[in-house]
Amino acid sequence: MKMDEYTFNGTGAAVYLCVGFLPEFVKVIAVEDSDMAQVEWSRGFVAAESDNGFLLYGATAADITLYTAGTGIEAYEGGELLTSANQTSVGYGEGVFLAPDVKDYRQVETYGYKTAVIDTWTLGNSTNRTGNFNSDIPASGSRIGEGSRILIEESVTKKLKWAVVEALTASQGSAANEVTLSRAVTSGKILKIEGMYDMAPLAVGSITPAGIKLNATSEINANNEIQLVRVGAYDRVH
């Protein structure tokens, strides 16, 4: 069985999530919304009433919406040439066609650091899981922020530890306790900082990989709200 998990920024419009294969089951969760709305789809949804899966939010059966064809989640074969006509934006956190993004943005000026490559983490408060980098992130345009995964080599233990940036304001990062992580990692060397979202817009001129098309925009995929997508495929061939 193959499974992957990604975050992306909601667009409020239909979006293609080009994960590189044709998923046979999918779950999308609105992780930044108080309803924690969830959409599920599987190849086993063969009834016309739920061909594109269903939406679940709230706590009662009345909060279930079935998706007919073209309204929820559908498989996407890929192989499409992107132009400015179909990929109408390549702005970070935007776009119609998204794909996994694993770049190390701590080394990228404008998108990552403000004055120097971000390579040092200093833990300031272990209880609050806060600390600081050796450099600020830019005032605008940075791809480092809430949701970024960070890899740190602790100076004393030499252990490699992943964490997630939970709070970081634009133009900040170098002053004491300006960065909040998902766990208290002791001071050390920063080896990688990924973008706020696991998926970013594909460049115009690209050929799209396979994935899914998410048509739903009500309760799920809200504009500028973090979404989590889990995709998988079974081992059996049929």
pLDDT (tens digit, 9 = 90+) per residue, 92-140? 999 999 999 999 999 998 899 999 999 999 999 999 999 999 999 999 9
**Whole-number pLDDT of residue 34:** 82
* CA-wise closest residue to 131 among 181, 199, 204: 181
SS3 of 4, please? Answer: strand
Predicted confidence (pLDDT) per residue in 128-171, tens digit: 999 999 999 999 999 999 999 999 999 999 999 999 999 999 99
Helix, strand, coil: what percent of the chain each, to 5? 5, 35, 60
Q: What percent of the chain has pLDDT over 70?
A: 97
The C-alpha atoms of residue 63 and residue 11 are separated, in whole angstroms, by 22
Average pLDDT over residues 14-24: 97
Among 34-48, 49-63, 196-210, the least confident range: 49-63
The C-alpha atoms of residue 78 and residue 86 are separated, in whole angstroms, by 13
Domain extents for the chain? 2-101+199-233, 105-193
**Whole-number pLDDT of residue 63:** 86
> To the nearest whole number, what is the mean pLDDT of the chain?
95
Q: What predicted TM-score, i.e. pTM, was given to this entire model?
A: 0.92
**Whole-number pLDDT of residue 31:** 93
**Whole-number pLDDT of residue 60:** 65
Confidence of residue 238 (pLDDT cuts 50, 70, 90): low
Positive or negative: CA dihedral 212, 217, 218, 224: positive
**Whole-number pLDDT of residue 35:** 82
Bridge partners (DSSP) listed for residue 192: 151
The C-alpha atoms of residue 113 and residue 107 are separated, in whole angstroms, by 7
